[in-house]
């Protein structure tokens, strides 16, 4: 598609969001929709930052003050959340505080946002495990059954890089670098698919085994996990300049692209390349953003290849998943999957299957923004 089509899709997304402001300013959106409609939610779970991030992207595109006001209202909620320790005993401080508060700080210099995001960075650092050199994703710190990192966490690290820049304190960056190195050493398999999670020995820190939490089975590539890997490697290169990150970016991205069905909307796990399994549109949006984030650092031939792939993913999302009619959905991107049970992985209850989810909406907007503007990223 041409720039004009991407701009039109972004215009549509902003118009749909404008309709949502009354319902979702004091309240946030639920993580996923129910029958394609989000419900109001408190500021809980790992997903509310995406709602605020969408408002910042909409504000950048339209300069409509209503978006800025809504986003700043939500920034106050994020300060309240971190100061009161509401649902912050996990590693997803980056997902929560980068698109909301770091974005607010970068765009407006808002001091409440800066304070909230620095508190969130401090909170994230408490999850760093010296033995193993990683940020423990979930659960009681040090507990054997949760002594692991997850691939998604690569997107939490920009919060730490930003905190080091703002405070001048190297500790945040050192933790991010250590976690990145441990992730790079353990998450990518020889065939370039990725583990969702990886366990370490809590007494020695030795690497133990890969496993999945949301994928089809331990040995498969959960589509969104692979997409976090694509974007995560692009960010790792941006922040470290380590050329090994480019190598891993190529590997995980080419694997992702090689497992896409004809219509380019990935199945929820890359085990599947055809059939009736649900799709995860959010994985397409995340991976495409990661490709565009890496493009400026590649030689022309490769840059052209990944830009073309990102455009093809964007075209597929616009054609097959984008909401255009508010009567159909109050989200932006249909056909995502939050979590899906499988015969090999009974852990997650089915949740948000063939629904919108807030991160899918956010990364769809980020993708359209990247395709239409010289965007200074929030991450």
251 binds ligand GLY (CB under 6 A): no
Q: Which residue has the tokens 């997650």?
A: 348
Contact 282, 224 (CB under 8 A): yes
Compare residues 10 and 317 and give the one whose CB is closer to ligand GLY.
Answer: 317
Given the residues 11, 87, 92, 315, select the one marked as catalytic: 92
Report, in Å, the least distance between residue 372 CB and ligand GLY.
26
Q: DSSP letters along 153-208, please?
A: GGGTHHHHHHHHHHH--HHHHHHHHHHHHHHHHHSB-TTS-B-SEEEE-TTT--EE
Backbone angles phi, psi at 355, to 5 degrees: -135, 170
- Cα separation, 184 vs 245, whole angstroms: 8
Check residue 123 for interaction with ligand GLY (CB under 6 A): no
Determine whether 280 is an active site residue.
no
Measured at CB, which residue is nearest to ligand GLY?
A: 152
Whole-angstrom distance, CA of residue 141 vs CA of residue 184: 22
Q: What is the three-class DSSP state of 46?
A: coil
Query: Among 283, 379, 276, which Cα is nearest to 336's?
Result: 283
> Cβ-count burial of 140 within 10 angstroms (0-12 exposed, 13-18 middle, 19+ buried)?
exposed
Q: Please identify which residue in the block is written with the tokens 């890997």.
A: 229
By C-beta, is 224 or 335 nearer to ligand GLY? 224
Closest CB 233 distance from ligand GLY, rounded Å: 16
Q: Tell me the closest approach of the beta carbon of residue 32 to ligand GLY, in angstroms.
A: 10
Contact track, ligand GLY, 316-355, x by CB under 6 A: ----------------------------------------
Q: Kindly state the tokens that stand for 192.
A: 């370039």
Rounded Cα distance between 95 and 151, Å, is 13
- Which residues does residue 355 pair with via DSSP β-bridges, in sequence order? 336
CB of 278 to ligand GLY, least distance (A): 14
Q: Which of 54, 60, 68, 152 touches ligand GLY (CB under 6 A)?
A: 152
Site membership for ligand GLY, residue 90 (CB under 6 A): no
CB of 299 to ligand GLY, least distance (A): 31
- Residue whose CB is less far from ligand GLY, 61 or 360: 360
Among 123, 127, 224, 370, binds ligand GLY (CB under 6 A): 224
**CB 53, min distance to ligand GLY, A:** 14
Nearer Cβ to ligand GLY (67/216): 216
SS3 state at 354: strand
By C-beta, is 214 or 372 nearer to ligand GLY?
Answer: 214
Task: Confirm if 104 and 72 have CB atoms less than 8 A apart.
Answer: yes
In terms of CB distance, is 54 or 152 closer to ligand GLY? 152
Pairwise CA distance, residues 81 & 78, whole Å: 5
Beta bridge pairs of residue 278: none
Q: Is 152 a catalytic site residue?
A: yes
Site string for ligand GLY, 167-206 (x = CB under 6 A): ----------------------------------------
Catalytic residues: 92, 152
Residues that bind ligand GLY (CB under 6 A): 152, 214, 224
């Amino acid at each position: 598609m041409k720039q004009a089509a991407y701009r039109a899709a972004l215009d549509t997304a902003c118009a749909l969001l404008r309709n949502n402001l009354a319902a979702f300013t004091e309240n946030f959106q639920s993580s996923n929709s129910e029958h394609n409609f989000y419900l109001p939610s408190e500021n809980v779970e790992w997903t509310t930052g995406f709602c605020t991030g969408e408002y910042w992207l909409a504000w950048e595109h339209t300069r409509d003050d209503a978006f800025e006001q809504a986003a700043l209202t939500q920034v106050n909620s994020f300060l309240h959340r971190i100061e009161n320790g509401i649902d912050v005993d996990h590693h997803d401080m980056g997902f929560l505080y980068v698109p909301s508060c770091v974005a607010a700080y970068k765009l407006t210099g808002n001091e409440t946002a800066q304070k909230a995001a620095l508190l969130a960075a401090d909170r994230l650092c408490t999850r760093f495990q010296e033995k193993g050199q990683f940020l423990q994703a979930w659960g009681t710190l040090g507990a054997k059954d949760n002594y692991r990192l997850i691939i998604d966490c690569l997107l939490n690290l920009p919060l730490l890089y930003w905190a080091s820049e703002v405070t001048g304190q190297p500790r945040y960056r050192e933790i991010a670098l250590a976690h990145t190195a441990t992730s790079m050493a353990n998450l990518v398999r020889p065939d370039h698919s990725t583990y969702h999670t990886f366990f370490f020995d809590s007494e020695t820190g030795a690497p133990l085994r890969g496993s999945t939490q949301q994928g089809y089975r331990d040995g498969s590539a959960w589509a969104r996990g692979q997409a976090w890997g694509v974007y995560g490697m692009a960010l790792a290169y941006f922040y470290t300049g380590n050329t090994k990150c480019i190598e891993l970016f190529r590997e995980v991205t080419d694997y992702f692209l090689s497992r896409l069905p004809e219509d380019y909307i990935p199945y929820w796990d890359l085990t599947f390349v055809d059939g009736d399994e649900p799709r995860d549109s959010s994985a397409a949006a995340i991976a495409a953003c990661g490709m565009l984030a890496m493009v400026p650092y590649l030689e022309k031939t490769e840059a052209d290849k990944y830009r073309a792939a990102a455009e093809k993913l964007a075209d597929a999302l616009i054609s097959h998943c984008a909401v255009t009619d508010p009567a159909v959905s109050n989200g932006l991107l249909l056909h995502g999957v939050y979590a899906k049970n499988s015969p090999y992985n009974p852990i997650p209850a089915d949740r948000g299957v063939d629904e919108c989810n807030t991160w899918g909406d956010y990364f769809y907007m980020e993708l359209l923004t990247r395709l239409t503007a010289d965007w200074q990223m929030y991450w």
